[in-house]
Structure 1
Amino acid sequence: MTRETSNDLAPDLASQLAQDPVPAGNARERLLDAAEALIYAGGIHATGVDAIVRQSGAARKSFYTHFGSKDALVAAALERRDERWMNWFITGTQQCGKTARKRLLGMFDVLREWFASDDFHGCAFLNAAGEIASCDDPIRIVARKHKERLLDFVRTQCDAFAAESTIDARHTARLARQWLILLDGAIAVALVSGEADAALDAQTTARTLLDAETAKSADSPTRNSTRKSANQPATRRSPSRRTAT
């Protein structure tokens, strides 16, 4: 089967997410670096403030000065990761093809490269949300905003797909939500199974979904009626038998 996408141009997530060298005096950035690395690898509850401070090389006083609490530090680290992760994912997706269909399917090729990397530990935002019970917790809020940003980007690609195909634009919001489930599902399966090809399984399902949407739209009575009317010549009215008065 001919692949509809190419991962040759997908950027490497490790390099995209790698922080620039932090000046020795910038304790805040070093604390964020340490918190993100340790928590992504081991989880929020398993990572203590002492370990973060020790890895950062910052003084404990700096931790309290810049953040005041572990939760505030974790939320700030996730916000920073959100920006880098989205930049990486958007760039990789846009390089997968000139059509929206290729870009939508290419999202799974981008994910597969991430799944195959040594530092893949699942979605940092799903992982964090799973450890925090309260929906109003700042950490859960950051995680939720990340998924909203991802959904918004997927929606732009679904809208573009509708514009270049026959599907009804009113269905793109639902399609985008289904697409997000496939993306997050692939991430979860890859984390648990250790199989990078979970992305390709999700891609196969995604391709079927696009084909089904296209076929459903083509069979729509309203659309067919519109096309039929457009192809038929206008009917001329017969002369009236009434005489002018």
Structure 2
Amino acid sequence: MTKTTSTRIVAAAEALFYEHGLRSVGVDAIAERAGVTKRTLYNHFQSKDALIAAYLDARDTATVERYRGWLGDPSRPMEERMAGLFAALADHAAQPRWRGCGFTRAAVELAGQPGHPAVRMAARHKKRFAEWLEQELRDGGATDPAHLARHISLLIEGAIAQMLIHGDTSYALSAGDAAVTLVAADRALAPPQPGSAAASPERAA
């Protein structure tokens, strides 16, 4: 299937923005990479800010789905799934073209413009990601999924930042160890299930 013109433009913007940053990439370079004229680009996107918003919007669902795949089979224990997620993050970060989280980078790059569409979109994405993670943890039996999701989100962000700074993917594995510990600690707070050894007075006697 042939890509539409707008899809080609967004794909070109995504590649350039992610690799080089938002400010340093001009619309001329995006148009050239997409194989369109600058006039055509502006016929589809009224401004560079609109194109930045489209670039981030295109990454939103794809990013959540990537992490969903990394978390894996819901039938497995959450500790194993969480370890797998961070191991997959480490493998992903080992790719030569990896530059961290595009949403975080956009928010940092435009931190002086809190009303910028990219900053607002980054905030919406992070909120959506946290809500997705909270639901996964709730479905996995967490006693306090909102609290746990916030802590694990911080571990993900911290691991990404440290890997960008040091070029060392072991930070993701260390963050994964911490996430597994948090999941296990939360599980230990769960009330015993009916019929379990801990819930049986006869076994406790």
Aligned 8 A contact 2:82 2:180 in 1? no
Q: Give TM-score scaled by structure 1 length.
A: 0.73
Instruction: Note if contact 1:36-1:77 (Cα within 8 Å) is conserved in structure 2.
Output: yes
**Residue 126 (structure 1) aligns with:** 104
Partner of 1:152: 131
1:140-192 CA distance string (max 9 Å, x none): 1211121122112211222133x2xxx6x3x2211110010001111111111
Structure 1 position 52 matched with structure 2 position 30: yes
Taking the aligned partners of 1:206 and 1:228, their CA distance within structure 2 comes to: 25
Partner of residue 203, structure 1: 176
Distance 1:228 1:85, change over 3 A: closer
Match status 1:140 vs 2:119: yes
Amino acid at match of 2:201: N
Is residue 69 of structure 1 aligned with residue 69 of structure 2? no
Residue 25 of structure 2 aligns to a residue in which SS? coil
Q: Which residue of 2 aligns with 1:93?
A: 71
| Deviation sequence 1:28-63 (CA, Å, 0-9, x none) | 122111111111001001111111111111111111
How many percent of aligned residue pairs carry the same amino acid? 32
Report SS of the residue matched to 2:71. helix
Distance in 2, matches of 1:80 and 1:229, equals 49
Shift in Å, 1:229: 8.9
| Residue 40 (structure 1) aligned with residue 10 (structure 2) | no
Higher helix proportion, which one? 2
Q: d(CA) in 2 for partners of 1:100 and 1:203?
A: 12
Map of 1:114 onto structure 2: 92
| Unpaired runs of at least 5, structure 2 | none
Match of 1:176 among 117, 134, 149: 149
Pairing 1:193–2:163 present: no
| 1:31 and 1:56 in contact (8 A); partners too | yes
Q: CA distance change for structure 1 residues 22 and 191 in 2, over 3 Å: closer, same or farther?
A: farther
Amino acid at match of 2:131: D
Q: In structure 1, the residue corresponding to 2:107 is in which secondary structure? A: helix
Q: Is the 8 A contact 1:28 1:62 kept in 2?
A: no
> Does structure 2 retain, via aligned residues, the 8 Å contact 1:100–1:157?
no
Cα shift at 1:208: 2.2
- Report the count of equivalent residues: 198
Q: Distance in 2 between matches of 1:140 and 1:87?
A: 21
CA shift in 2, pair 1:87/1:22, >3 Å: farther
Normalised to the residue count of structure 2, the TM-score between the two structures is 0.86
Q: How does 1:217-236 map to 2 (within 5 A)?
A: 217=189, 231=201
Structure 1 unaligned blocks of 5 or more: 1-20, 233-245
Q: Structure 1 residues 202, 27: closer, same or farther in 2, change over 3 A? A: same
Between the aligned partners of 1:129 and 1:28, the Cα distance in structure 2 is: 24
Query: Do the aligned partners of 1:93 and 1:104 also contact (CA within 8 Å) in 2?
Result: yes
Q: Secondary structure at the match of 1:147?
A: helix
Report the alpha carbon displacement of residue 22 of structure 1 after superposing the two structures with TM: 4.8
